[in-house]
Amino acid sequence: MPGRPRVVAGATIDGFTIGAQIHAGGMATLWEATHPDHPGRPLLMKVPRLREGEDPAAIVGFEMEQMILPRLSGPHVPRFVAAAGFERQPYLVMERILGTSLAARLPSLPLAAEEVAAIGARVAEALDSLHRQAVVHLDVKPSNILFRRGTGEAVLVDFGLARHRLLPDLLEEEFRLPYGSAPYMAPEQAMGVRGEPRSDLFALGAVLYQLKTGMLPFGEPQGLKAVRRRIWRDPLPPRALRPTCPPWLQEIILRCLEVDPARRHPTAAQLAFDLRHPDQVALSPRAEKRGRDGWTAVLRRRFDPKARPVFRRPAEEADAVHAPIVAVAVDVAEQSAAMAQVLRAGLGPIMASLPGARVACINVLDLRRAAPEEGENRHVQRLVALRHWAAPLGLPEGRITYHVLEAADPAQALIEYATANRVDHIVMGARADSLRRRLLGSVSAGVAAHAPCTVTVVRPRGVNAGGAEPGRA
């Protein structure tokens, strides 16, 4: 076997010139690097610690990252550049993220609710991108969250504990102990379940709790037994520590910190949606909680076998998004009763078959032709009309939200909304054949052509076959 090249500043390995050491952690060291094939691009070389007696998790974590990182794409992960295995000097080279780590904010805690929500939404969007690529991070904590300079997009780093649903889990059989960061680890992870995407939502909830209160929700437990305490002992509600914490933020944080993953947000996209729309968060008793649960409840959770949560491994086939965000564009000002009915009929089966799905009812106030007589109240009037349209759907608060967008280009506004809110499916009506459609073009055709997701265009039968609706200009 050839000699192992030494990783030191100034050395060159496989064309990568090594620069300054950036960080020396327990599992790996990080180095600046450059390569003539990547001019002007700052790179990062990660080198696992391999000395005798080092934690074997360092090696397996490196293998996991070597396996997972090349399979990830998008702005929310560092771009993979190169890797070398254990035959010689193992390393992983990736894009060096220029920007700051969330850990840099820890000295300035607590943060304002609005900033906590904005940070949380960006991290949740990054997690959504990751989960859609079949990967669960399982080590979400401030030091593993970076924000890109310029765009501010969140980037998740360190996939050494991550799980790819379609690849072998090298960690699961290797270690008896569940690995993760104790303050943020989800209870099911502490019980050895790897691969539950909502474990990342729990960890993010713990981060948001910390950002808002300056405290860790479960302290810094040492050892697994102490970590598992969170299965039966609930944290002090954020508002008990920071009375200025608004109810909607406490609702979101405590929902993330639910022991049973099924009681958390179904997806990271839905969590991001709530964080982006505080006024639309459905408040439960969680929002008003002022103290921890009483000892009787805690003792029951701890000692009553019937109250003990059962953590299941998520089904291998959990491929599709079972909790989609559906946006329905409702033209409350113009649409016929027939169209209103057809739109509801298009939405009903989706909401009935997918209990985790939520719908965002959207009306676009077309600034090019908004009737001036609607005046100041038009926004409110449109919201009232949206609620009226949606009432027959019979959806509970929490599964439905209402939004009025003001835009000069309705198609563009819908596409931007769908992109920003990680919408999975847009349902909208086709405009009846009319002079206006001929002059302005079809909004639905524009959305269908350029939307980032599935688009269903509904139309009452016969509208285009000469049966033009009355009252159309």
Partner 1 sequence: MRIALLADIHANREALAACLAHAARQGARRLVFLGDLVGYGADPCWVVETVRARVAGGEAVALLGNHDEAAVSPRGPVGMNPAAAAAIAWTRGRLDAEAAAFLASLPLVVEEEDRLYVHADASAPARWRYVAGTEAARRSLAATAARITLCGHVHVPGLYGLTATDKLVAHRPAAGVAVPLLRPRRWLAVLGAVGQPRDGDPSACYGLLDTGRSELAWMRVPYDVATAAAKIRAAGLPESLAARLERGR
Tell me: does residue 73 bind partner 1 (CB under 8 A).
no
Tell me the Ramachandran region of residue 124: left when phi exceeds 0, alpha when psi lies from -120 to 50, beta otherwise.
Answer: alpha
Tell me: does residue 366 bind partner 1 (CB under 8 A).
no
Classify 366 as helix, strand or coil.
strand
Count of residues near partner 1 by CB under 8 A:
16
Of 152 and 168, the one with the shorter C-beta distance to partner 1 is 168
> CB under 8 A: which stretch of 61-69, 184-192, 270-278, 426-434 binds partner 1?
61-69
Work out how close the CB of 463 gets to partner 1 at its nearest, in angstroms, rounded to a whole number.
40
Alpha-carbon span 98 to 250, nearest angstrom: 32
Identify the residue among 22, 50, 67, 215 touching partner 1 (CB under 8 A): 67
Of the candidates 356, 322, 260, the one whose C-alpha atom is nearest the C-alpha of residue 132 is: 322
Work out how close the CB of 201 gets to partner 1 at its nearest, in angstroms, rounded to a whole number.
24
Identify the residue among 34, 66, 421, 444 touching partner 1 (CB under 8 A): 66
Near partner 1 in 16-45, by CB under 8 A: none
Question: In 166-283, where does DSSP find H-type helix?
Answer: 187-190, 198-213, 224-228, 238-241, 247-256, 268-276
Of 279 and 316, the one with the shorter C-beta distance to partner 1 is 316
Binding mask 84-113 for partner 1 (x = CB under 8 A): -xxx--------------------------
Of 63 and 128, the one with the shorter C-beta distance to partner 1 is 63
Q: Residue 135 forms beta bridges with which residues? A: 164
Identify the residue among 24, 109, 112, 166 touching partner 1 (CB under 8 A): 166
Tell me: does residue 56 bind partner 1 (CB under 8 A).
yes
Tell me: does residue 170 bind partner 1 (CB under 8 A).
yes
> CB under 8 A: which stretch of 15-23, 60-68, 118-126, 448-456 binds partner 1?
60-68
CA dist list (Å): 430 to 192, 435, 456? 50, 14, 10
Of the candidates 246, 257, 138, 124, the one whose C-alpha atom is nearest the C-alpha of residue 192 is: 138
> CB under 8 A: which stretch of 150-158, 163-171, 349-357, 455-463 binds partner 1?
163-171
What dihedral angle (degrees, nearest 10) is formed by the CA atoms of 200, 203, 209, 215? Answer: -170
Of 61 and 237, the one with the shorter C-beta distance to partner 1 is 61
Amino acid at 313: R
Of 61 and 205, the one with the shorter C-beta distance to partner 1 is 61
Alpha-carbon span 157 to 429, nearest angstrom: 42
Work out how close the CB of 227 gets to partner 1 at its nearest, in angstroms, rounded to a whole number.
24
Alpha-carbon span 333 to 260, nearest angstrom: 43
Work out how close the CB of 11 gets to partner 1 at its nearest, in angstroms, rounded to a whole number.
22
Q: Identify the burial level of 37 via C-beta atoms within 10 angstroms of its C-beta, where 0-12 means exposed, 13-18 middle and 19 or more buried.
A: exposed
Alpha-carbon span 451 to 417, nearest angstrom: 10
Tell me: does residue 291 bind partner 1 (CB under 8 A).
no
Helix (H) or strand (E) segment spanning residue 455: strand 454-458
Of 167 and 283, the one with the shorter C-beta distance to partner 1 is 167
DSSP one-letter code for 430: P
Q: Identify the burial level of 381 via C-beta atoms within 10 angstroms of its C-beta, where 0-12 means exposed, 13-18 middle and 19 or more buried.
A: middle
What sign does the dihedral 422-167-186-61 (CA atoms) show?
Answer: negative
Of 1 and 473, the one with the shorter C-beta distance to partner 1 is 1
Alpha-carbon span 34 to 17, nearest angstrom: 5
Alpha-carbon span 60 to 175, nearest angstrom: 10
Tell me: does residue 215 bind partner 1 (CB under 8 A).
no
Of 65 and 251, the one with the shorter C-beta distance to partner 1 is 65
Work out how close the CB of 436 gets to partner 1 at its nearest, in angstroms, rounded to a whole number.
47
Work out how close the CB of 31 gets to partner 1 at its nearest, in angstroms, rounded to a whole number.
22
Identify the residue among 25, 74, 168, 467 touching partner 1 (CB under 8 A): 168
Q: Residue 94 forms beta bridges with which residues? A: 44, 80
Work out how close the CB of 131 gets to partner 1 at its nearest, in angstroms, rounded to a whole number.
16
Classify 168 as helix, strand or coil.
coil
Tell me: does residue 14 bind partner 1 (CB under 8 A).
no
> CB under 8 A: which stretch of 13-21, 59-67, 245-253, 377-385 binds partner 1?
59-67
Of 153 and 172, the one with the shorter C-beta distance to partner 1 is 172
Near partner 1 in 314-353, by CB under 8 A: 316
Classify 292 as helix, strand or coil.
coil
Binding mask 171-190 for partner 1 (x = CB under 8 A): -xxx----------------
Tell me: does residue 50 bind partner 1 (CB under 8 A).
no
Omega before 110 within 30 of 0, i.e. cis:
yes
Give residues in contact with partner 1 (CB under 8 A). Answer: 56, 63, 66-67, 85-87, 166-170, 172-174, 316
